[in-house]
Amino acid sequence: MASQQKGSSIDPKNQDFPQPETQIPTPSPNHASFPHPLPSFPPPPFPSPAFHSRPPRRRHRPPYSLPRSEPSLQSQLGLSHSQCALVLSPNSLHLPILHLSLLSLGVIVSPSNPASSSPEISRQIRICKPAVAFATSATAQKIPNSLRLGTILLDSAEFESMMMTCPSSTESLRVEVKQSDTATILYSSGTTGRVKGVELTHRNWISMMAGIHAVRNRSAPHAVCLCTVPFFHVYGFAYCLRVLVTGDTLAWMGRFDLKVMMRSIERFRIAHMACAPPAVVALVKHGDINEMDGYDLSSLQVIGCGGAPLSKSVVEKLRKRLPNVQVSQGYGMTETTARVFGALGPEETRVEGANGRLMSDIEAKIVETETGSALPPLMHGEIWVRGPYVMKGNVDIHMVAPYKKIRRVAFINAIPKNVQGKVLRKELIKLALSKL
C-alpha cells in the first residue's frame, strides 16, 4: 500500500489509497494479552475519575487502579480461561470493570442488545455457548436456566460485593492469555440479514487501542468524553476501552435523551462525544438553530459519528448550530474491530462527506465485485480491508432452515428500518446502479 505525504492529492488513476505515516507501536505477540499491555502505553496524569455514571451517583478511580473483580469471578463463580460470558445489560457503571475483569481471566465477553427478543437471545446463546450470563432484573427473564454457572444479576447485592472485593496476593491465580485467544464475540447482521457471531482476539483489541494511542494529541489536556452509543455495539465497546489508553474520563448514557445529553455536556464539560446519526439529527432539529435551551455546550470540541453517513444538510445545520465543533465521521465494521477509516483533526473534518483516511497499519482497496480486480478512486465497488484489526472469523453455527410456503402478501408504503430492510435497500441500490 503506497502512502502519500500529507496534503497530496489523490490520483484518480492510482489504485492505492493514502495511508497515515504513523505506525502502531503494538507489543510483541509474545507479550501479555489485553488489557495487560496497557502499562506499555505511557499513561498521562489522571486529574479526574476514569468513569462517570449519569446521573453521577458514583465515580470510579483511574483505570490503572480500578477495583478488580477477577478473584471473585474465579473463586465464587468458577470462571476460567476460554469460557464465555453473555452480558445482557444497558450501559451501566458495572460494565467497564466487568468486561476488563473477564478479559483478564481469558474469559470471552459476549455483550448483547438488552432489547433483543427471547428468540434472538436464544440464537446468540447457541452461537457463543456461554457458561454464565450477567444480566439485570429487567433482562434476566430472557435467558434460559440451562447455563452451567447460571445468571448473575448486575443490580444485586451479590454482584456489588464481587465488584468491591480487594484482591490479595494469594486470592487469584495468574491466568496465561495469548493475544491470539478470542477476547469478544460481538453480533453483526452483515449483509445477509442473519445474526453472526464475530470473533475478535486480544490482538485485535490491542491493535485498535494502540492505533488510538498513536494518533492522539499528546499535548492535549485531559478530556471528558460522553458515550451515547451502547456498549454492546463495537463502537461503544471500543469507545469505552479508549479511556484506558488516553487517560480521559468517560461519561455515558443509558437510553438516549436529548436534554439529558445537553445537560451532561454542560455539567461535565464534555469535550468529545460519540454518537449515532439519530442523535445528531435530534440535536440539529431541536428548537431554533441559534438556541440550545440555555445549555452551555461551549466545551464540546468533537462529535464522532459512525454507523451510517450523515447527510449534507444535517452536517451543515450542525455546523451552523455548533460552529466550533469538529464533525468526525468514520467507517468501520464489527468485523474490523470498529473504525478503519476516520476523519481526524480540523483539516480532515472540514471535507464534505469525508470518512477520513485509513487508520495506521490498515490496507484497503475497492474491487469489482464479479472479478475481484482493483478499482481506482471514485468508482463503485466492494471494499476489501487487510490489517491487524480484522476479525479472527465468524463463530461457526450450523442451523437448518426448512423451506416455507408464502401464504400471504402485504404491500407497505416504505422499506422497514430493520435488518431485513437494510438488506433490501442494499440490493435495490445495487439493482438501480446496474441499470445506469
Residue that wins the pLDDT comparison between 28 and 194: 194
Average pLDDT on 138-166 reads 89
DSSP for 220-261 reads SPP-EEEE-S-TTSHHHHHHHHTHHHH--EEEE-SS--HHHH
Peptide bond just before 18 cis, omega within 30 deg: no
Mean pLDDT over each residue of the chain, to the nearest integer: 81
Q: Which three cell numbers stand for residue 346?
A: 480540523
| pLDDT per position as a tens digit, 6-27 | 333 444 444 444 555 555 666 6
Q: At what angle do helices 234-241 and 94-104 cross, to 10 degrees?
A: 80
CA–CA separation, 217 and 345 (whole Å): 10
pLDDT of residue 290: 60
Number of C-beta neighbours around residue 368 at 10 A: 13
**Does residue 270 register a pLDDT over 60?**
yes
| pLDDT per position as a tens digit, 171-227 | 556 788 999 999 999 999 755 567 899 999 999 999 998 888 887 777 778 899 999
| pLDDT per position as a tens digit, 49-73 | 555 555 444 454 444 444 556 767 8
Percent of the chain with pLDDT over 70: 76
Domain 38-394: which CATH number of 3.40.50.12780, 3.40.50.920, 3.90.10.10, 3.30.565.10? 3.40.50.12780
Q: Which three cell numbers stand for residue 114?
A: 438488552
CA–CA separation, 262 and 295 (whole Å): 7
Whole-angstrom CA distances from 342 to 138, 248, 331 are 36, 20, 7
Contact 154, 101 (CB under 8 A): no
pLDDT of residue 1: 32
pTM of the entire predicted model: 0.81
